[in-house]
Chain A
Amino acid sequence: AQTVTQSQPEMSVQEAETVTLSCTYDTSESNYYLFWYKQPPSRQMILVIRQEAYKQQNATENRFSVNFQKAAKSFSLKISDSQLGDTAMYFCALKNTGTASKLTFGTGTRLQVTL
């Protein structure tokens, strides 16, 4: 069984500052995908960033980047230049590479961006 753990239930950051959300996971697979999803108050799930486990280079998407440590099974999300619109729940998720494999979600981190 695979698990995803997010140890920070809530975090707060000031606008324009940088914040890092933590995520650890466990899987017996050697190849898999990791994701960060954002769920704003509208509750629509939005993909923030994706990382293939076989790629050593950390993924980046504009202000969002990850620190992927495969040996430590750690996958943290860094948000730079935080904006009010970044206020949301953030879920870390793991997916094996099978054709119909499911996503396993962490418990989420509620991020509040303040003025």
Chain B
Amino acid sequence: GAVVSQHPSWVICKSGTSVKIECRSLDFQATTMFWYRQFPKQSLMLMATSNEGSKATYEQGVEKDKFLINHASLTLSTLTVTSAHPEDSSFYICSASRGQGVLNTEAFFGQGTRLTVV
């Protein structure tokens, strides 16, 4: 199966600093990647859809200036949490799909990043 690698697995940062999370598709090209946030014992909440070479599409209620998404290549998308605060502490997960049509039916997920802001 296709592999999506997310880095780092966990990070602790001070309040007010910025943190960058990387999501890489290792053995396929991903035109579209998705960023999710998951609170403890809750479901995945889609934050934004990341499109290679264009601006990300954010879900309602997600601050685009706080959660900066860059999808500069077909294998890499990054999520930067700017001026992080304790309430941004969460588990962040990325996913990617291969190609289009029937190849796009399955989403492959990264391992997730646990962010703790102190």
- For residue A95, which residues in chain B have a CB less than 8 angstroms away from its CB? 105, 107
Whether A103 contacts B107 in the complex (CB less than 8 A), given A91-B44, A108-B43, comes out as: yes
- Is A33 touching B105 in the complex (CB atoms < 8 A)? yes
B25 interface residue, CB < 8 Å from A?
no
Give the number of chain A interface residues (Cβ < 8 Å): 21
B43 contacts A105, CB within 8 Å?
Answer: yes
A28 adjacent to chain B (CB < 8 Å): no
Judge if A16 is at the interface, Cβ distance under 8 Å: no
Task: List CB contacts (< 8 Å) of B96-118 with chain A.
Answer: 97, 100-101, 104-107, 109, 111-112
Contact flags A72-115 to B (C-beta < 8 A → 1, else 0)? 00000000000000000001000101011011011110100000
Choose from A45, A102, A105 the contact partner of B49 (Cβ within 8 Å). A102
Contact partner of A102 (CB less than 8 A), chosen from B46, B106, B112, is: B46
In whole Å, how far is A105's beta carbon from the nearest beta carbon of chain B?
A: 5
Q: Are B43 and A102 in contact (CB under 8 A)?
A: no
Asked if B78 lies at the interface with its beta carbon under 8 angstroms from chain A, I say no
List chain B residues, Cβ under 8 A from A44. 109, 111-112
Contact B51 A100 (CB under 8 A): yes
A50/B106 contact (C-beta < 8 A), A105-B43, A106-B43 known: yes
Contact B100 A99, beta carbon cutoff 8 Å: yes
Q: Which residues of B contact A100 (CB under 8 A)?
A: 31-32, 49, 51, 97, 104
Name the residue on A nearest B57 (C-beta). A100
A90 to chain B, nearest CB (A): 11
Q: Nearest chain-B residue to A37 (Cβ)?
A: B109
Q: Does B93 contact A (CB under 8 A)?
A: yes
Residues of B within 8 A of A (CB): 31-32, 34, 38, 41-44, 46, 49, 51, 91, 93, 95, 97, 100-101, 104-107, 109, 111-112
Q: Give 12 CB contacts A-B under 8 Å.
A: A43-B38, A45-B93, A45-B95, A52-B105, A95-B105, A97-B105, A99-B31, A99-B32, A99-B100, A100-B32, A100-B51, A103-B95
Q: A99-B31, A99-B104, A106-B43 are in contact. List 7 more A-B contacts (CB 8 A).
A: A42-B111, A45-B109, A100-B104, A102-B46, A103-B34, A103-B107, A105-B43
